[in-house]
């Protein structure tokens, strides 16, 4: 009996806490700012990657012949293929962030907050007042309230937790800003490689420059891929998994 009493007290206190957080704008603003910043960052990096792709495509059309034909395109083919795949990753990241922004706008809206608070208040009233044969409806209502609470706060927590983990545990190895600047420099370096002397040794030296640049660019692009997959794809998938597990565990058993 005492345990049941304290369970009710815990639910009431938790409900007051959730209602208070739902009405606080700072909590939602922080999550919204992080999502907007991530969208801008992803857009910039996507543009940088496409710029590098354009420079490489132009360089691939360069053919030099002195006794034999040397194609710069053959050297740059691997990095160009990697850039194409990276573009797909960035497109998926931008779509993921866009969906998060839409969901954020939905759950922080006045309509959703009103429904959530109404459900929480009714659930708390139902804790102390029972009606005849209301067990099934009561349990279903409590389960639905739990899902609404999770959905309301998980989007903001998703953006804040992914940002926190990236800053503290990922950034030192896979720094998006540094990798982005390196990719920009790579584009400039590829554009500076010229073939304007009629010497086989000279051409081989310039092709060696392409190879070195391509190797460094590959490392930078891989770093960007890892960082964005972690920030914008891994955590949303984790969120979907947790939401699925919550709903599955709440509703898998029929009330008897």
Q: For the segment 89-116, what is each residue's pLDDT rounded down to a tens digit?
A: 888 888 888 988 998 899 888 899 999 9
Provide mean pLDDT across the span 148-169: 87
Domain range for 247: 2-251
Q: What is the pLDDT of residue 118?
A: 93
Domain presence at residue 236: yes
Which of the pair, 196 or 151, is modelled with greater confidence? 151
Domain presence at residue 28: yes
Domain presence at residue 256: no
Share of residues in the chain with pLDDT > 90 (%): 6
Q: What is the pLDDT of residue 21?
A: 85
Average pLDDT of every residue of the chain: 79
Domain presence at residue 61: yes
Q: What is the pLDDT of residue 128?
A: 79
User: SS in 3 state form for the chain?
Assistant: CHHHHHHHHHHHHHHHHHHHHHHCHHHHHHHHHHHHHHHHHHHHHHHHHHHHHHHHHHHHCCEEEECEEEEHHHHHHHHHHHHHHHHHHHHHHHHHHHHHHHHHHHHCCHHHHHHHHHHHHHHHHHHHCCCCCCHHHHHHHHHHHHHHHHHHHHHHHHHHHHHHHHHHHHCCCCCHHHHHHHHHHHHHHHHHCCCCCCCHHHHHHHHHHHHHHHHHHHHHHHHHHHHHHHHHHHHHHHHHHHHHHHHHHHHCCCCC
pLDDT in tens, 232-245: 888 788 877 887 78
What pLDDT band is residue 197 in, cutting at 50, 70 and 90?
A: low
Split into its structural domains, the chain has a count of: 1
What pLDDT band is residue 161 in, cutting at 50, 70 and 90?
A: confident
Domain presence at residue 201: yes
């Amino acid at each position: 009996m005492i345990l049941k009493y304290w369970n009710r007290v815990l639910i009431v206190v938790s409900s007051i806490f959730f209602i208070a957080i739902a009405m606080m704008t700072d909590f939602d603003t922080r999550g919204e700012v992080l999502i907007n910043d991530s969208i801008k960052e992803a857009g910039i990096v996507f543009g940088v990657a496409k710029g590098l792709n354009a420079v490489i495509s132009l360089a691939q059309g360069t053919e030099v012949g002195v006794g034999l034909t040397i194609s710069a395109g053959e050297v740059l083919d691997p990095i160009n293929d990697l850039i194409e795949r990276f573009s797909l990753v960035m497109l998926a990241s931008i779509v993921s962030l866009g969906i998060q922004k839409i969901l954020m706008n939905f759950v922080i809206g006045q309509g959703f907050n009103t429904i959530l608070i109404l459900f929480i208040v009714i659930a708390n009233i139902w804790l102390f007042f029972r009606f005849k044969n209301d067990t099934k409806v009561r349990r279903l209502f409590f389960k639905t309230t739990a899902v609404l609470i999770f959905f309301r706060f998980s989007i903001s927590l998703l953006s804040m937790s992914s940002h926190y983990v990236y800053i503290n545990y990922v950034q030192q190895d896979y720094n998006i800003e540094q990798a982005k600047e390196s990719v920009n420099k790579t584009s400039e370096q590829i554009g500076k490689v010229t073939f304007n002397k009629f010497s086989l040794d000279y051409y081989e030296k310039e092709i060696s420059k392409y190879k070195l640049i391509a190797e460094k660019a590959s490392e930078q692009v891989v770093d960007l891929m890892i960082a964005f997959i972690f920030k914008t794809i891994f955590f949303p998938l984790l969120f979907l998994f947790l939401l699925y597990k919550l709903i599955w565990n709440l509703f898998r058993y029929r009330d008897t």
